């Protein structure tokens, strides 16, 4: 039997469509980063049941759309719902990708639920796998100024710069100019 919170999460497919429309597709175009969408690979960290990954794959069939989540029950449901996409059951602190290999990383609301203080490790791992010319679009909602400030310090400590920020809603991260892949 599926738990009640899981049912609520599954019923929110419109969120996936909004994120794809507004953030994943239009924002890179506005930033002159369409090349990221055309690069052939998109990875969502903490993809849940895969609605965003599935939407990217349906709109960009040539893109290798990959979702990563630690919860096996979500991965099973994601594979059932979006069979043309790829889903990987893995810890976000130890991603199964080579250094500097991913052009486009995305995550939505994984950091504000970070009760185990994993954000520094996840950010470091995202930095490790992101290509030097890639972007990491993350969405988060911190309604506490202190938590938001601490998170921004963690972003900087991981080696990222914030290229675009809209309040507490989302940020586009890029690798700092002095941090390059070996």
Residues 79-122: pLDDT tens digits? Answer: 999 999 999 999 999 999 999 999 888 888 787 666 567 888 99
Tell me: pLDDT of 8 over 50.
Answer: no
Range list of H helices, 13-167: 13-18, 27-30, 34-37, 51-59, 72-81, 119-129, 145-157
In a domain, 92, yes or no: yes
**Can you give the residue range of the structural domain that contains 124?**
4-175
Residue with more model confidence, 132 or 3: 132
In a domain, 78, yes or no: yes
In a domain, 182, yes or no: no
pLDDT for 170: 61
pLDDT digits (tens, 9 = 90+) for 23-51: 666 655 655 556 656 667 889 999 999 98
What is the Cα–Cα distance from 157 to 40, expressed in whole angstroms?
Answer: 29
Structure tokens at 122: 């996840």
pLDDT band of 69, cuts 50, 70, 90 = very high
pLDDT for 12: 46
In a domain, 23, yes or no: yes
Q: Which candidate, 78, 57, 70, 132, places its Cα nearest to that of 100?
A: 132
Greatest alpha-carbon pair distance for the chain in Å reads 50
Tell me: pLDDT of 134 over 50.
Answer: yes
What is the pTM assigned to this prediction?
A: 0.80
In a domain, 181, yes or no: no
pLDDT for 28: 58
In a domain, 168, yes or no: yes
pLDDT for 3: 31
Across the range 124-130, mean pLDDT stands at: 93
Across the range 64-88, mean pLDDT stands at: 95
Number of folded domains that form the chain = 1
**CATH code (residue 126):** 3.40.50.150
Give exposure, 8-30, as e/b (b: 16+ Cβ within 10 Å).
ebeeeeeebeebbeebbbebbee
Tell me: pLDDT of 4 over 60.
Answer: no
In a domain, 124, yes or no: yes
In a domain, 115, yes or no: yes
């Amino acid at each position: 039997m599926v738990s009640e919170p899981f049912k609520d999460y599954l019923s929110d497919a419109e969120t996936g469509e909004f994120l794809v429309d507004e953030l994943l597709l239009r924002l890179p175009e506005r930033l002159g980063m369409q090349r990221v969408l055309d690069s052939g690979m998109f990875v969502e960290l903490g993809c849940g049941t895969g609605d965003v990954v599935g939407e990217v794959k349906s709109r960009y069939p040539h893109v290798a759309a990959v979702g990563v989540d630690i919860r096996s029950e979500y991965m099973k449901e994601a594979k059932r719902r979006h069979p043309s996409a790829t889903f990987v059951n893995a810890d976000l602190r130890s991603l199964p990708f080579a250094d500097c290999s991913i052009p486009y990383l995305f995550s939505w609301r994984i950091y504000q639920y970070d009760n185990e203080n994993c954000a520094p490790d996840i950010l470091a791992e995202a930095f490790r796998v992101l290509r030097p010319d890639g972007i990491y679009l993350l969405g988060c909602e911190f309604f506490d100024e202190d938590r938001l400030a601490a998170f921004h310090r963690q972003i900087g400590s991981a080696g990222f710069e914030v290229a675009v920020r809209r309040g507490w809603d989302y940020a586009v991260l890029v690798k700092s100019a002095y941090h390059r892949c070996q």
